[in-house]
Amino acid sequence: MATVPEYAIIVAGGSGSRMQQELPKQFIEVAGKPILMHTIERFYAYNPEVRLIVVLPQQQLSVWRDLCRKHDFKLFHMTVPGGSTRFGSVKNGLDAVQGEALVAVHDGVRPFIDVATIRAAFEAASVHGNAVVAVSPKDSIRELTPEGSQAVPRDRYKLVQTPQCFKANILKRAYEQPEEEYFTDDASVVEQTGEKIVLVEGSYRNIKITTPEDLILAEAFAR
């Protein structure tokens, strides 16, 4: 059976406001190199043939070029300017995807994704049309109500990570919709078109570096 090309759209077009640093968090160094370089390396380790599309803030394209030079970073990737939201950035990345393909969308700030999870997500998406990485919550969960809050059974919930993998035609069709506030990830966009989302087990190490204390964890995981 002929295999279809695999793309990874690595979204790194955000400003990292919750990190409260001037440098966008995807460029902050962990274990001596920018977070985004760790992320790209994980996809390259999965498959050196994967077509890497890295989405960056328009005004940071030259910063990234300089960082690649400084760190002698040679892994081949295409760069695309991002949008004002994650939705817009994924959409811009998708414009570079051609023909029949499988597409993984991954946050540039999840540098500890492991190769086995990337593989499982691509494999499941090739069978089911989509596959979304998620883990079970470790804490108890309470739902906010008009009266206060109430306990809910946590075994009814999953915490969603990336990569989120799709057949290209399914993802492209979904991203033709107008953006909605409740589109917090790619699964929520695709689900709106009627697709049933398939979950693949993720890892607790696959953190999204979001707030300052995540950098402490990141240094530990990178060791």
Ligand X SMILES: C[C@](O)(CO)[C@H](O)COP(=O)(O)O
Pairing of strands 29-30, 130-135: unpaired
161 binds, among ligand CTP, ligand X, none (CB under 5 to 8 A by kind): ligand X
At 141, which helix (H) or strand (E)? Answer: strand 141-145
Residue with smaller CB distance to ligand X, 6 or 107:
107
Interface residue with ligand CTP, options 83, 111, 129, 163 (CB under 6 A): 83
Beta bridge partners of 52: 8
Interface residue with ligand CTP, options 208, 217, 221, 222 (CB under 6 A): 208
Return d(Cα 104, Cα 89) in angstroms, integer: 14
89 lies in the binding site for ligand CTP (CB under 6 A): yes
Interface residue with ligand CTP, options 15, 126, 188, 203 (CB under 6 A): 15
184 binds, among ligand X, ligand CTP, none (CB under 5 to 8 A by kind): ligand X
φ, ψ for residue 174 (rounded to 5)?
-65, -40
Return d(Cα 162, Cα 132) in angstroms, integer: 7
Selection from 107, 116, 118, 97 nearest residue 167 by Cα = 97
11 binds, among ligand X, ligand CTP, none (CB under 5 to 8 A by kind): ligand CTP
Residue with smaller CB distance to ligand CTP, 6 or 186:
186
Selection from 14, 29, 41 nearest residue 70 by Cα = 29
13 binds, among ligand CTP, ligand X, none (CB under 5 to 8 A by kind): ligand CTP
Total residues interacting with ligand CTP, rule: CB under 6 A: 21
Name the site residues for ligand X (rule: CB under 6 A). Answer: 86, 107, 160-162, 184-185, 208
Beta bridge partners of 134: 160, 201
Interface residue with ligand CTP, options 37, 40, 82, 165 (CB under 6 A): 82
Return d(Cα 32, Cα 41) in angstroms, integer: 14
3-state secondary structure at position 161: strand
3-state secondary structure at position 67: helix
Q: How far is the CB of 88 from ligand X (least distance, A)?
A: 12
Q: Which residues are near ligand CTP by CB under 6 A?
A: 11-18, 26, 55, 82-86, 89, 107-109, 208, 210
